[in-house]
Amino acid sequence: MKHVSGISGGVLLLVVAAALSALLVCSGRGPVSDPALAFAHVGAGRRVEVAYRAWRERDEAAGGKISVRLGWSKAFSTEFTRATGRATIDPERGTLRVEVAGLEDPKAHEVWLVDDVPGPGKSARPETGDRTLKAGTLVARGSKGILEADLRDRLAGFEVDAVVVTRAGTDPTSSGLLFGTASLFQRMARSAREGEGKGGATDLDRLVAKGADLFFNETFAGNGRTCGSCHPSENNLTIDPAFIATLPARDPLFVAEFVPELARNFEKPELMRKAGLILENVDGFDDLETRFVLRGVPHTLAMSTSITAPPPTGDEPVVLPAERTGWSGDGAPGSGTLREFANGAVRQHFTKTLRREPGTDFRFATEEELDAIEAFTLALGRDEDPDELEDVRFRSPLVARGRDIFEADDAEGGTVAAGKCDQCHAEAGASVSFVPGGFNFNFDTGVERIPDSMGDLIDAPSNPPDGGLGSAPNPGGGFGDGTFNTPSLVEAADTPPFFHNNAIGTLEEAVGFYNSAAFNNSPAGRFLADPRTGVAIRLDATQVAAVAAFLRVMNALENIRSSTEFAVSAKEAGHARAARALLRLAIADARDGVEVLECAGLHPAASTALREAVSLLGKASDACFAFKRRARIERALRALERAQEDMVEGPSPLAGRGERGPI
């Protein structure tokens, strides 16, 4: 065998091969700006599976009936209405029952079922080519419109994708008042009953990855915005003035500043830039000049834990929205489901002109795209709320006291103040504790009555009152009943400003708000008031700081959980570019943990460990060889563990049911 400079030909080939491999791996180095690539490898479909199993248990307990709530759809309705309703389909018996409240003349309205037929240029909107079935005409029964129909001979082979209430003599492909759609889980259950069908989602990882690509990259033939324009992955899926200030002048978020057709009544650019407020026409597009509200952008983390609406009570035919997706719970149009959020956002935010003509100004998503976006959104963040926080051994006495105040409903011997926070934020999540079932409620906490909110200080005439949930005129201004839904607090420290109108800038100030007259005089404050004093909450400054410290540590623990998950997935990734995309998100979470703690001087040792993790994850991203990348990730994971151990003794309260990794 020939030798070259003392190196065997075989060894030389190995060296050259290794060098070429390194060159190929490193040639793709540089920033990976597409988070969709990361979610294609993170295995997040398991979270959707966990949520689906929990939903399926409830569905089977309810007899497997398909229940669809009906409401005015910002995306699809051809005229505005305040009417709401519910359609219940029993697949076994082939029966349909529809109840609608709020129609002036119920018998002048018909109910249609729609089976979406995919095809070129088609969308989830009822269109020519879809299969439609007129179920019947509503009859007046008291104040409601009722339809009871036996469809067993007509439902064979018909997959109900949407229920539509139209005016008599029209059909859902040309007009419609009330819309409701089958959810991803209902479509998955239908496929399980009928065998693999068009609603199936057997490969949830692939579905989540497709949803991530649509969420961050798809413009839907509109003005250039994507879902990620307002929910960027690098800023905890929300935007705020500090983040907005980093964007280039021609970023699609600013289309109102450089597209003449969107210069008026599409956004309020100054309020967007200075207060992070986005214009929303939640009560219809009939009066763009005066009928709008300005709201902050809620993050989309842990939505599977926070969107369950309470069931109807008494004779109410329906409680809308069906799922509480932010702000006053009405972040989504129509029946208010997470699925409908996407097409409502497309019509509101993606349009090229204020005519909002589908097919010209934008395109609507297809049913398959809605499946993917819904799956992706359900996969974001935690898959469950913390459990038994009273048993968590926090190492900081300040944090432990904050936890006790947070959970106390009454003063205990005068030693622990009653924060009563747990009443509406059970286990620091978004569900109430006074009704079992993990339901998210709406409350009027007096936020709209805060004096000197940032939006009013910047431009009060352009910042009208927000009436909250619903569309009836509010005596205090705007439209709605004055209530707003409860957000999760686990992610709060990461996602300022606070409340639906971005009125408060820091976590400590947000906790302090509940000492204010605005809260204590509000309906929610009166509900929680101590009958002896008439005061709901009264915390000293040190107690406010303790509650905020508790929430900051909870947020930092969630940062560690998320960073660990992305890092573990990066270690397992077979492709360097995917690994770097995952590491980018792991680094962002670890950095957030540092910021959350250091803003209040909490746990300096944990901050140091988190900084070490950031450095190691960065070096792992720069590594040309997989073995080096994995070794550095292992060291980063140990640093993340040390950060957690500095904050809590024992397991983290934020492990999650679907998580991997050492935490």
DSSP string computed for 503-566: -B-SHHHHHHGGGSHHHHTSHHHHHH--TTTS-S----HHHHHHHHHHHHHHHHHHHHHHHHHH
Please tell me whether residues 329 and 401 are part of one structural domain: no
- What gap in Å lies between CA 616 and CA 608, rounded to an integer? 12
* DSSP β-bridge partners for residue 425: none
Q: Are residues 585 and 447 in the same domain?
A: no
- Per-residue confidence (pLDDT) for residue 28, from 0 to 100: 44
Residue 162 and residue 211 share a domain? no
Task: Look at residue 60 and tell me if it is in a domain.
Answer: yes
Q: Could you tell me if residue 512 is inside a domain? A: yes
Q: Is residue 187 part of a domain?
A: yes
Residue 513: HSE in the Cβ half-sphere, 13 Å Cα cutoff: 25
Do residues 457 and 524 both lie within one domain?
Answer: yes
Q: Examine residue 300 and state whether it is found in any structural domain, yes or no.
A: yes
Count of domains in the chain? Answer: 4
Range of the domain at 289: 204-379
For residue 497, is the peptide bond before it cis, meaning its omega torsion is within 30 degrees of 0?
A: yes
599-642 confidence digits (pLDDT tens): 999 999 999 999 999 999 999 999 999 999 999 999 999 999 99
Question: Which range is least confidently modeled, 410-424, 572-586, 592-606?
Answer: 410-424
Q: What's the CATH code of the domain at 401?
A: 1.20.120.660
Q: In this predicted model, what pLDDT tens digit does every residue of 77-107 receive, in sequence order? A: 999 888 989 999 988 888 999 999 999 999 9
Same domain, 254 and 120: no
**Both 182 and 277 in a single domain?**
no
Tell me how far apart the alpha carbons of residues 55 and 50 are, in angstroms, rounded to a whole number: 9
pLDDT value at position 21? 43
Provide the 3-class DSSP secondary structure of residue 363: coil
Query: Quick one: 253 and 227 in the same domain?
Result: yes
Cβ atoms of 365 and 337 within 8 Å: the answer is: no
Instruction: Say yes or no: 357 and 367 in one domain.
Output: yes
- What does the pLDDT read at residue 525? 94
Tens of pLDDT, residues 145-159: 999 999 988 888 898
Chosen domain end from 354, 379, 404:
379
Cβ count within 10 A of residue 445: 27
CA distance linking residue 70 with residue 113, whole number of Å:
12
> Which CATH number do you get for residue 105?
2.60.40
User: Does 341 fall in a domain?
Assistant: yes
Alpha-carbon gap, residue 310 to 319, rounded angstroms? 8
What are the tens digits of pLDDT across the range 324-339? 888 877 777 777 889 9
pLDDT surpassing 90 at residue 399? yes
Residues in CB range of 418: below 8 A, 6 or more apart:
405, 408, 409, 410, 411, 530, 537
Model pLDDT for residues 42-83, shown as the tens digit of each residue: 878 888 888 888 888 887 777 778 888 899 888 899 998 889
Tokens 């008042």, residue? 177
In a domain, 589, yes or no: yes
Q: Are 528 and 593 found together in one domain?
A: no
Q: Are residues 408 and 274 in the same domain?
A: no
- 211 CB-contact burial (10 Å; exposed 0-12 / middle 13-18 / buried 19+): buried
- Shared-domain flag, residues 209 and 179: no
Domain end call among 485, 508, 538: 538
Q: How far is the C-alpha of 512 from the C-alpha of 490, rounded, in Å?
A: 17
Regarding whether 230 and 157 lie in a shared domain, the answer is: no
Burial class from Cβ neighbours inside 10 Å (0-12, 13-18, 19+) for residue 20 reads: exposed
* Res. 162: pLDDT tops 90: yes
N residues, the chain: 663
β-strand partners of 8: 3
Q: Is residue 616 part of a domain?
A: yes
**596 in a structural domain:** yes
- The residue among 140, 172, 194 that closes a domain is 194
